[in-house]
Structure 1
Amino acid sequence: MASQNPGGGGGGGGYYGWGPPPQHPQQHAQYTPTRNIHHAHHYGHGHGQPPAQQMGPDLPTVLLALTDTYITAAHASGYKTSLGTASDAEAYYKLVATGLACLETALQYRLQPRVESIVRLRYASILYEETENLDEAEEALNKGLQLATRNNLMELKCSMQYLLVKITFKTNHKAALLMLNSFIQDVETLDIPLWTYSFRFLRFHLLAEAGPTHDDQAATNALRSIYSMSKDRMDVQVIALASLMEAMISLRGGADGVENAQRALARVFTQQNGGLDIPPQLEVLTQLLDICCSLMLSRAQECDPKLRKLHTSLDQPGRWLNWKEDGEFSVDVHPGRPGRPPEGLKLRWLNKDDVFTVGYFLSGHVKFQKNVEENGKAERFLTEGLKTVDRITAGFTQMSVEASKSKLAWKRSLKSYMYLYYAFLLCMRTDWDSALKIFKQLEEVAVPLALLPNSPLALHITYLRAIINHGTNDLYQAVQAYTEVVSNTPVDSELSIISKLNQILILRPQNPSEADALLTSIERYCPQHKNELLKAAYIAVKATARGELVKTKNYLSLALRHAAAAGNVQLTFIVLNFMCHRFFSGVVSEQAEKSAKAAWQNAKKGRDTLWTLMGGQMYADCLARKGNDLEAIRQQQMNEEASLQVIKNLTRNLPPPPPYQEVMQQQ
């Protein structure tokens, strides 16, 4: 979520929310090798010299209008340019250079202080957004700041200070933060609440974004200072915004951060229950974050009612009446002095298509564990999300090249995550052919993102590759991929723990000592873990180790309870199969028959061919031992289909047999 400059000049602030990067100055690119625009002076005058010929008193106004025309024309082709050729980039930057030349020419005239300040701010904004000429942008701002200070143009002065911090942060993080602290003190002393909020949100953004200054705790403290101020001033919408930002920062910590996130969300719910209005964008963000909290704890029963509430909310036509295409909205702030008109903190978040895309993605998550039970509902949600994400380009109508690239990267990231979880769904129901196909599509989509090996998406893609290798019996490659994930993640991260659990299952038969060492390395993190699914998986792996019968039975019962609490059908039928094998192998009894039948039926319901075959085979053996030969034969026939699929899958990575002639020659 981007905070825009309240003064209207100087572009936006930071990227605060879960959504596409803001459509405002962020990075700067050129089509020339030096990435510096050489401004074309179409009016034939040098820098700083007034025109020799009088061109009319309204020429500066005309030049400002021309600037807007050229920049608007450039931004209309911003998305096309971000995907296009060098000639497209050349045409784009010629328009930008011409717009800058118009501003330079306007500055050669004697302008009113306010107009000159606006021109300098606009000039620096374009340089910041479209070029790497940061020194020239800083020089223009410093001149503008002197002018605005002499003439008491406080709004423009703050706008220029806001942009100056962002420019300085590009090259000197520490200096930018010190400068920002000084500006915050100034506006606090002058009692300008709108700019106090704006500067403090900018400080939060600079501390929260990835980089040398990244510090989640300091970012959270910045938000709490905003919350404290807004609470004292009864700026209820700012209270909600700060609380939501704190919830998002907390969720970065995974399941351990959910409790803090829920406390922050509780403040927003209290406001809503008290009848206080917040912008619809913040309402939707509240619902999305609330669902994320339940998902991160694997509390399936909590998710469904929250998802229904979200769907009802998004289906209300009135919600979208004032929702702008560029995602901009305003958060109300009480004026600094009584009698003044109300003020608003401008922000930019998701547009309608973006919101629906994220909604489909989260819906697929919520229905993940019930995908088979609900006839592929999770897959249908993700399929709709993939269709919607391809429509996002329609919102790129007015955007700079760099902003277009940022939003395109966000779109590709979201699309990659959709393919990722779609492939996981296919793996759960052992449709390995389709999973491999989706995995290839995922790799193609992710290539332009140039992911670092330790980035979250890259690690999840590696983990998916490990799962597919594991499920298709390429165990050596699976162990290598799991090891790669573990080596690039913290030892207590969920991805590291689940990768080790999978490695243990592979290593146990042939290298039990290494498997035991891996299990020991995660035992301090798993028993009290807040993620029910992870805890259930750990207990199941521990239960399947050879040990005392009573302990095994207790572990398996505990694993079943956690799996049921998390709604994990797959883990349930795996545990049921192991229980039948462990306790009833070779036993002739009614309980043994019921156990085998339950294992087979649950696996079949989960559409898992491997465990369906295992359960079906145990059930057929049990029937044969009881003398029910006819039923045993019928069950064996039912097992044949699953057997063919399992054999085909487990032998797909084996080398092909030698030709018949070659075998005969060897003999």
Structure 2
Amino acid sequence: MNYVNVLANNNGQFSTFDNTLDPRQDQRPPSVSPAPSPYPAAQPYQVAPAQLQAITPTPPPAYSSPSPAPIPQQIPQFQVPQTSSRIMGQQDIMPVTTPQSHVSLQHPAPASLANESHQVQQSPSPAFAKSPLPTKRPSISAMNSPGISKRSPAIPPRPSPASSARASPAMTPKTRPFESATVLVHVAEECLSKAYSAVYSVAASPDEGRMREYQKLVSTGLACLNAAVQTNKLAPRQEAKARLRYASILYEETENLQEAETTLFQGIKLCEKHRYTDMKYCMQYAALKVLFQRNHKAAFIAIDKQIAECQTFKHYPWLYAFRLLKTTLQTYAGNAPDANHFDNLQMLGNFAYERGDNAIGVLASLLEGLAHLRVMKSDSVERVQTCLAQAAMYQLDPAVKVPQLDILTLLLDLACSMHQKNPDILVQKLSALESRLDETISSQDWTDDATEVCVPMKKQPSSSLIISEDTTAILRPGKDDEGTDLVVLSFLSKQELFALVHAFGGLANMYRPASREQVGKMKSLQRWAAGLETVQHVSTQHMLGNRALSTVSLHESIRQTKWRTEIFCYLQLLIGLYNATQSKWKLVDQSVSKLQKAATPAVNEIFTLFTLYLTGVYYQGTGEFETALTIYEDPRLQIPSGPDGPESRKPAELEVCILAAMSRLWILQDPGFQDEQTTSKLLESIQPLCTTHPDSEFRTAFSLVQVTTQPDLEMNIVKQNIQSALNGAQRTNNTHCLAIALTIMRCRLFENVVGEQALKSAKAASQQARRSGNLLWMSVADGMLANSYEVQGQLAEARAAQAAAQENASRAARAFE
């Protein structure tokens, strides 16, 4: 039944009320049966007119054949009680009970007595009262007594239903009590469900009309929940659930954190009073998230107190939940992982392994590995491998066979290998990840629209007190036969994870061996295109509302939409940079335009820097050096030089600034833009960052930049840098950097040199440039090869090489159009 309609029907009355008994509908009095008499049923008694004479009754021994008793000549003044009518000319007279029989006579008074005094007097004794009485009063049977009516004595007649149908107890319908508080809770849930059903479309395209309708539904739901709580008519547990729901909506949908905190504290007191331990922990969990919005430090202190309390009472499932919450809040704080972050994860993992909750321990190890990747120190890769080795020790445990944990392990392993830049290992890790993903396509444990992961843990004897159906958003009771409970965590959906794997796979394909390099690069673009298609498909589904009934708030749906926008920007950046290495500037321009539309201030700031950098690459590649310099000199792309220095920037932001500085250095080597002073300052600022950078490709790129700047370095330093760049490019199988390194080596070491070694160097540079696919470097390398042939006296080969160089230059020029 729609409770909103119930409240609106019949001016506040229930539409199901039965009006058939209303006296206004039918004035005919229905027959009413008298109440059952406690005496035996009386026999019908009739008095003949001839027998109405005074007699002197004698008490018979038994009333087997009673004689009809005549009415005495002088009738006592008794009045029958009436409900709503009076005898004409009389006032209301109370019935008088004779002291002998203690029964109320119900014979109506004769009309001749209408004009007598209305004062109640003692009735004169009738004629038969002078008869001699027996020494022992005989028992009187109500069934055979001649002076008693056949109606049941001492029971007054019921009021006439004709005068008041509602006054009759037998006819008044007993209406069910109206539980307004329960109805308000149901109305609130209907409003919230209606609002959440369209939450993804509102988040994707915040139309003003849709947003107003959404906010109206949410505010109505909040008002109903608040009214239900204020009635104080809910059962204690229902009130606790209503308070938790009300506070959660306030936290997620409004900025009224003070009201949410007050509601939660009142709910915690209610749970302590009635010993609802499970609901108490849920409210404390929500209160910590609310407190984190106001004061980070106070929230972490409160979390530590909750962890200590759970440790004291041995409520280990909630200890896991609060430690995982602490890790989440530390991540949302925006700071780089510190010692407290790693200590919390290590304590969580060690405690879980000790209790035999291996799945929780594996999760803690994986989260610690992800935190090490965010720090990116010199030993970060080794620490990640240690975490992976710890998790691999329990890979044969059936409890650890959770599809999401397997995928997370393989993804972390692949990311770690990408930092090591080992092509052969990368191919193996990528193949293992793809095989595991194929197995999850038909998995029943992980549906396509599932956005959570359930990690099993051992069931405690007291689990029923601390885990229930009301805690399923955090802790979920498992099956009794399995002996486990579940910790619930949010996770990517299967389609979103496929998009992320496509991004990683495209990067891994770029490091394939040289014999398969061209095929690998083709697959890189295909993977990134597939990732974009997957992201757009998920966004379209949410826009059309094809997803199952959603229970997430607008804030959560906006966060998910933001993540999909960020992965879209990242894929566009990869496609743009890859096309830049192929001199496909039209495609680069398209990627820049898409990034500029998608990288709004609402998304992560790093994508604004990515867009700015790719724009500079486009102008630099098309020869507009002045515009490119203006972009690279943007304050957002400058390396900080304050008291905190480069450490004030996040690792990804700092890397983009280093790349912009390198590109700026190469533009400053052009005769029209040479500036030795600026060049020296830039080299001094990026040298300590590049030489100690954990990524070998940054060290390789800096070596190439350093040997091409003016003023020239000493020849020994030039040779060392060229050798370092060649080794780094060969180790990572970076064909683009290898082609640049060979071309620079030919230019700096074998310019106008006659000999076989110089010719081999020029040939190697030309061949590697063709493998890279960059038209500009192909043109440069072929021109140097033609020069080497000409020095060697091989004019025919020189003309062929020069023609190839001109052809590549023409193709590169057409790419600008």
TM above 0.5, yes or no, is yes
Q: Once the two structures are superposed, what CA deviation does each residue of 1:270-313 show, in whole Å capped at 9, x if it has no partner?
A: 22156762421111111111212222343333322111111111
SS at match of 1:316: helix
Distance change in 2, residues 1:497/1:105 (3 Å): closer
Distance change in 2, residues 1:98/1:477 (3 Å): same
Larger radius of gyration: 2
Q: Does 1:611 align with 2:764?
A: no
Q: Does 1:254 align with 2:365?
A: no
Q: Once the two structures are superposed, what CA deviation does each residue of 1:104-138 show, in whole Å capped at 9, x if it has no partner?
A: 44432533322221222122222222223333322
Structure 2 counterpart of 1:425, from 578, 602, 605: 578
Q: Percent identity?
A: 28
Counterpart position of 1:535: 699
Normalising by structure 2, report the TM-score. 0.68
| 1:317, distance to aligned residue in structure 2 (A) | 4.4
One-letter amino acid matched to 1:416: C
Q: Does 1:286 align with 2:409?
A: yes
Counterpart position of 1:15: none
| 1:163, distance to aligned residue in structure 2 (A) | 0.8
Given that 1:430 and 1:608 are in contact with CA atoms closer than 8 Å, whether structure 2 keeps it comes out as: yes
1:404-483 alignment runs, 5 A limit: 404-447=557-600, 449=602, 455-483=605-633
SS at match of 1:579: helix
Counterpart position of 2:682: 518
Bigger drift between 471-480 and 73-82 goes to: 471-480
1:538-553 alignment runs, 5 A limit: 538-544=702-708, 546-553=712-719
Task: Tell me the distance in 1 between the aligned counterparts of 2:627 and 2:308.
Answer: 57
Distance change in 2, residues 1:76/1:499 (3 Å): same
Q: Does 1:495 align with 2:645?
A: no
Task: Tell me the distance in 2 between the aligned counterparts of 1:643 and 1:101.
Answer: 70
Task: Tell me the distance in 1 between the aligned counterparts of 2:633 and 2:443.
Answer: 47
Task: Tell me the distance in 2 between the aligned counterparts of 1:55 and 1:129.
Answer: 37
Bigger drift between 487-496 and 374-383 goes to: 487-496
Counterpart position of 2:435: 312
SS at match of 1:343: strand
- Aligned alpha-carbon RMSD (Å): 2.9
Bigger drift between 60-69 and 612-621 goes to: 60-69
Q: Does 1:242 align with 2:397?
A: no
Structure 1 stretches lacking a partner, 5+ long? 1-39, 45-52, 653-667
Distance change in 2, residues 1:258/1:347 (3 Å): same
Q: Does 1:330 align with 2:454?
A: yes
Q: Does 1:95 align with 2:217?
A: yes
Bigger drift between 253-262 and 111-120 goes to: 253-262
Task: Tell me the distance in 2 between the aligned counterparts of 1:173 and 1:381.
Answer: 40
Kindly tell me the number of residue pairs found equivalent between the two proteins: 600
Counterpart position of 2:747: 581
Q: Once the two structures are superposed, what CA deviation does each residue of 1:578-633 show, in whole Å capped at 9, x if it has no partner?
A: 22222332233333332222211211221111111111112222333444333333
Structure 2 stretches lacking a partner, 5+ long? 9-173, 465-482, 648-653
One-letter amino acid matched to 1:376: M
SS at match of 1:320: coil
Bigger drift between 306-315 and 552-561 goes to: 552-561
Given that 1:335 and 1:343 are in contact with CA atoms closer than 8 Å, whether structure 2 keeps it comes out as: yes
Counterpart position of 1:124: 247
Given that 1:573 and 1:599 are in contact with CA atoms closer than 8 Å, whether structure 2 keeps it comes out as: yes
Counterpart position of 1:388: 534
Given that 1:426 and 1:432 are in contact with CA atoms closer than 8 Å, whether structure 2 keeps it comes out as: yes
| 1:59, distance to aligned residue in structure 2 (A) | 5.9
Task: Tell me the distance in 2 between the aligned counterparts of 1:626 and 1:511.
Answer: 36
Counterpart position of 1:28: none
Distance change in 2, residues 1:221/1:375 (3 Å): closer
Structure 2 counterpart of 1:148, from 257, 266, 271: 271
| 1:649, distance to aligned residue in structure 2 (A) | 6.7
Bigger drift between 105-114 and 570-579 goes to: 105-114
Distance change in 2, residues 1:276/1:117 (3 Å): closer
SS at match of 2:599: helix
One-letter amino acid matched to 2:534: T
Q: Answer 1 or 2: higher relative contact order, Cα 8 Å, separation at least 6.
A: 1
Counterpart position of 2:801: 635
Distance change in 2, residues 1:331/1:58 (3 Å): farther
Distance change in 2, residues 1:224/1:525 (3 Å): same
Given that 1:296 and 1:531 are in contact with CA atoms closer than 8 Å, whether structure 2 keeps it comes out as: yes
| 1:387, distance to aligned residue in structure 2 (A) | 0.4
Q: Once the two structures are superposed, what CA deviation does each residue of 1:12-58 show, in whole Å capped at 9, x if it has no partner?
A: xxxxxxxxxxxxxxxxxxxxxxxxxxxx99959xxxxxxxx976376
Task: Tell me the distance in 2 between the aligned counterparts of 1:539 and 1:627.
Answer: 33
Q: Once the two structures are superposed, what CA deviation does each residue of 1:321-359 show, in whole Å capped at 9, x if it has no partner?
A: 221423122111223448975221111101111111111
Counterpart position of 2:98: none
Counterpart position of 1:600: 766
Distance change in 2, residues 1:158/1:41 (3 Å): farther
Given that 1:191 and 1:336 are in contact with CA atoms closer than 8 Å, whether structure 2 keeps it comes out as: no
| 1:556, distance to aligned residue in structure 2 (A) | 1.6
One-letter amino acid matched to 1:245: L
Task: Tell me the distance in 2 between the aligned counterparts of 1:198 and 1:117.
Answer: 20
Distance change in 2, residues 1:536/1:195 (3 Å): same
Of Structure 1 and Structure 2, the greater helix share is in 1
Distance change in 2, residues 1:582/1:115 (3 Å): same
Normalising by structure 1, report the TM-score. 0.83
Distance change in 2, residues 1:580/1:318 (3 Å): closer
One-letter amino acid matched to 1:358: L
Task: Tell me the distance in 2 between the aligned counterparts of 1:304 and 1:434.
Answer: 28
Given that 2:187 and 2:221 are in contact with CA atoms closer than 8 Å, whether structure 1 keeps it comes out as: yes
